[in-house]
Amino acid sequence: MACEDGGVIKGNINKIVISTDSYTVKPIFFPGGDIGKLAAAGSINDVAVMGATPTYALDTVVVEEGFLVSDLQRIVKSMINVFKAENVRIISGDFKVMPKGQIDGVIITTTVLGVLDGEPILDSGAKPGDHVIVSGTIGDHGAVITAYQYGINPESEGLTSDCGSIVPVMKIAQKIGGIHAAKDPTRGGLAMALNEIAEKSGVSIWIDESKIPIRENVRALMEMLGIDPVYMACEGRVVLLVDPDKSEDIVVELRKAGYREAEIIGEVKSERPGYVIMETLAGGYRIVEKLRGELTPRIC
C-alpha cells in the first residue's frame, strides 16, 4: 500500500512521455542482471527512445507468498540503482502478495515519466536515405533467457544479458542530431523493431547481415537452436534511423564513449514500403518477416 495514494509532480511541464510495462522474466536472476534491473531499464528505455529524459518512476511488485525476503531486497536494490543512476525519482508504488502457487515468483510493473524538450521521436519518422544504426551487439538478453528455458546454463556458455539503460546512447545521438526514429529492440528483437518502423513510416528497411554485430557465443547458441538472432530480444540496445549526414558522427561518438560495437547496418528506401529486407551472408536477399507469437515466454 502506498503511503499517500499517489505521487505529486510539480513544475512547468509542457510535454510528458509516459510508458508502463509488466516484467515477468524467468529466471529472476541471470548473468548481466535481474528482474529489478530489467524493470527499471526497460521502462526508462521506452521513454528515452521517444526522445524524452526519464525523470519519475512508479512501481508495483507482486510476489508469491514465501518469496525470499533476501531475493526481494536484492531485486528492489537493483531496480533502485538503475533509477538512481539516471536521476529518476520513484514517486509512488504498490506491493502485493499472492498465495503460494498462484504466481510463479514475482512480477514487477514499472511506469516511467519523461520530460520532453521538443517533438517526440516516433516510429513513423524514418525517411528514405536514412541510415540504420544499432548501438551494440544484438540478441544478448534473448540468448541468456532462451538458454535457461532450453536447460542450457548461459554462464557456462559465457552469455551475458545486455540489460541496462540506453539513456547515455540517446544523449550522445541527440546531441549530434538527425534522429528520425528510434526503438529499443526488445520482444521480437531487431526484426520486430525494424518491421514496426518500416510499417509505420511507409518505407522499406534494407539491412546487411554481415554488418550486424552479434557475439560469437550468441550466434553459436542460435545456430544450435535454429533461431535467427535478429528475433532475439535486446534489453540495452537501441536502433536509430538517422540522417545519412549524421550517421558516421553518431557511430564515431558512440564508439568513443565505449559502445564499440555500434554499427551502421543498413539503410531506408522508398520502394516496397512496409518491408524489412536483409542481404544475407550467403549473398542473396530475404524478407525479414514479423514474428507471429512468441519465441520465448517470459523473456522480459
Summarize as ranges the residues that interact with a copy of itself (CB under 8 A).
1-22, 24, 26, 45-47, 49-50, 52, 56, 58-62, 65, 91-94, 96-99, 101-104, 107, 109, 111-114, 116, 120, 122-123, 183-184, 186-188, 192, 196, 200, 294, 297-298
Residue 76, helix vs strand vs coil: helix
Query: Of 18 and 152, which has the nearer Cβ to a copy of itself?
Result: 18
From residue 136, alpha-carbon distances to 108, 241, 260, 292 in Å are: 26, 15, 7, 25
Query: Of 1 and 282, which has the nearer Cβ to a copy of itself?
Result: 1
Distance in Å, CB of 121 to a copy of itself, minimum: 10
Query: Of 113 and 251, which has the nearer Cβ to a copy of itself?
Result: 113
Query: Of 97 and 220, which has the nearer Cβ to a copy of itself?
Result: 97
Query: Of 113 and 277, which has the nearer Cβ to a copy of itself?
Result: 113
Give the Cα separation of 213 and 216 in Å (integer).
9
Query: Among 137, 128, 27, which Cα is nearest to 71's?
Result: 27
Distance in Å, CB of 99 to a copy of itself, minimum: 5
Distance in Å, CB of 245 to a copy of itself, minimum: 26
Q: For cell 511541464, name the residue.
A: 13
Q: For cell 548473468, name the residue.
A: 31
Q: Taking phi first (over 0 means left), then psi (-120 to 50 degrees means alpha), and beta for anything else, what does residue 166 get?
A: alpha
Identify residue 90 by its one-letter amino acid code. Answer: I
Residue 77, helix vs strand vs coil: helix
Give the Cα separation of 105 and 91 in Å (integer).
25
Distance in Å, CB of 282 to a copy of itself, minimum: 31
Distance in Å, CB of 94 to a copy of itself, minimum: 5
Query: Of 100 and 211, which has the nearer Cβ to a copy of itself?
Result: 100
Q: For cell 528455458, name the residue.
A: 149
Distance in Å, CB of 60 to a copy of itself, minimum: 4
Give the Cα separation of 300 and 297 in Å (integer).
8
Query: Among 273, 142, 137, which Cα is nearest to 198's?
Result: 273
